[in-house]
Amino acid sequence: MTVEFKLPDLGEGIHEAEIIAVKVKEGEMVKEDQIIFEVETDKAVVEIPSPYAGAVAKIHVAQGQTVKVGCVMIGYDIASKGQTQAPAAAAAAPAVAPVKQAVTAGNNGATAQAPAHPAAQATTKVLTGPVPATPATRRLARELGVDLHQVNASGPAGRVLKEDVMAYAAGSLESRIQPSATASSTTSSTPSSISSKPAAPTSMKDKYGGSSADASPLTGMGGMNAGPVEYPDFAKFGDVERLPLKSIRRKIAMNMTQAWTHIPHVTHFDEANVTELSSLVTKYEKEFAARSGDNKVRPTLTVFTIKALASALKLYPQFNSSLDENTGEIVIKHYYNIGVAVATDRGLIVPVIKNVDQKSFYDIAVELADIAAKTRAGKIELERLQGGTFTLTNIGAIGGTSMSPMVNFPEAAILGMARASQKPIVKDGQIAIGTILPLAMSFDHRLADGAEAAYFVQHVVKLLEDPFKFVLEA
């Protein structure tokens, strides 16, 4: 018996696809689910599995050809092995044969995880029609701005549950405010900082989970250069492991690409002599902690830098703005909310301290200790992850002489703090020992120029170097 296989429906709005590779030859025996074609749509590269087992009688298409949905691609001789293991559905309607790869960009495999029925043991996804979810779940998704197609479904038949939407929303929010790929820790640079436990080496698989069967191409985020990239055959040179790019890591990847492709980055480097401030910090540390009754509340360099930023942002509002590309407007924010990058087991998260210009050093120290602890425990409230206008990242606890942080899109700038350490300095013509804090600010060059960035960082440096000036200014 001969059966024709037609190009299946590849998803909403996709009517044609270009054939990237033909994976089988005429006369070849094909197993069910074996990949027979790789095709590219305007949304993704998709692998098409065979719905049948049998011999390939005729291949009707060739590499490079653009085919329409419903076009006959392969003729099978399925009687030649005397059996068909094709699922009833595929045999009845080959034109809608299941496609293994998720089509929409960023879809991390909303497959039916718990088949409702033995006959439903399909690793495939129904590509047509809306995502199964109750009206209440759909409403929640709308409220949180979640596209149901992006959510991993845990219900039967790919049904998205309320819990799935909430988990997704929490994940995407965390990564949306993810600032810097280079920053891996957020602790303060002084020994008295809030330190996170050193990252224990974990297996990549444990960290990201899943098998490469869940992987889907990362597309729709490359700007002008969107399209498949050629990679060497890594396995040729030794053992490799392939893991799907999933959930938070995937979101981070997409957001970083967005930040990098939309914002022309420039980084300005400077350093602050914080000798005096450091000695004051050591002197008043205990008093500070005693006042709050919590020894995690400390007058760290991070606290002072946040306060210095509030002052600098008022002087140079271009660094407290966003460029709205849709309207061609600069959005100047008249509120000063500083995001502080916090390393967690799940990835980098940026809780926000709001209205820092209206808060005292002490208030900020208390809030910083609170959000750091809550974020690490995974208990940070969603509203405390939103509304940042400028981000501060600090890799001081780990080390490094400086960095080039990436702007937290759609903000205008990010300030990175490296480790404050003792260095020889020249003071009154003499070599002396001072504490030097390296600073690096990356900014959106569309919104500000290098001189402005230099003035901005200079202002921060001046305040950090002269505690008395700080008191006058802040």
Long-range contacts of 238-245 (CB under 8 A, 24+ apart): 241/204, 241/205, 242/212, 242/215, 243/204, 243/205, 243/208, 243/210, 243/211, 243/212, 243/215, 244/108, 244/109, 244/208, 244/210, 244/211, 244/212, 244/213, 244/214, 244/215, 244/216, 245/208, 245/215, 245/218
**Does residue 394 sit in helix, strand or coil?**
strand
Distance CA 425, CA 428 (A): 10
Distance CA 16, CA 6 (A): 12
Q: How far is the CB of 81 from another protein (least distance, A)?
A: 9
445 an active-site residue? yes
Q: How far is the CB of 135 from another protein (least distance, A)?
A: 5
DSSP summary character for residue 466: -
Distance CA 196, CA 268 (A): 28
Q: How far is the CB of 127 from another protein (least distance, A)?
A: 10
| C-beta of 81 vs 291, nearer to another protein | 81
Choice among 60, 149, 265, 445 that is catalytic: 445
Contact footprint for another protein (CB under 8 A): 9, 70, 82-83, 85, 87-89, 92-93, 95-96, 98, 112, 115-120, 122, 124, 126, 128-130, 132-135, 138-139, 142-143, 155-160
C-alpha distances in Å from residue 373, one per residue of 29, 123, 195, 343, 422 = 59, 40, 10, 11, 29
Determine contact, residues 437/464, Cβ cutoff 8 Å: yes
Q: How far is the CB of 50 from another protein (least distance, A)?
A: 15
Distance CA 440, CA 87 (A): 59
The beta strands (E) that lie in 238-389 are given as: 265-273, 321-324, 329-332, 338-340, 342-344, 347-349, 352-353
| C-beta of 57 vs 126, nearer to another protein | 126
Q: How far is the CB of 24 from another protein (least distance, A)?
A: 22
DSSP summary character for residue 96: G
Beta-strand relationship, 413-417 and 390-394: parallel
Q: How far is the CB of 73 from another protein (least distance, A)?
A: 15
Distance of CA 271 to the CA centre of its chain: 30
| C-beta of 1 vs 431, nearer to another protein | 1
Q: Which of 453, 427, 121, 112 is nearest to 270 (CA)?
A: 453
- Both tokens of 182, joined, read 């280079």
Q: How far is the CB of 157 from another protein (least distance, A)?
A: 4
Distance CA 264, CA 239 (A): 38
**Residue entry with tokens 């502080």:** 340
With both helix axes pointing from N to C terminus, report the angle between 135-144 and 162-176 in degrees, rounded to the nearest 10. Answer: 10
DSSP summary character for residue 131: P
Q: How far is the CB of 396 from another protein (least distance, A)?
A: 42
| C-beta of 145 vs 429, nearer to another protein | 145
Hey, which residues are catalytic here?
Answer: 445
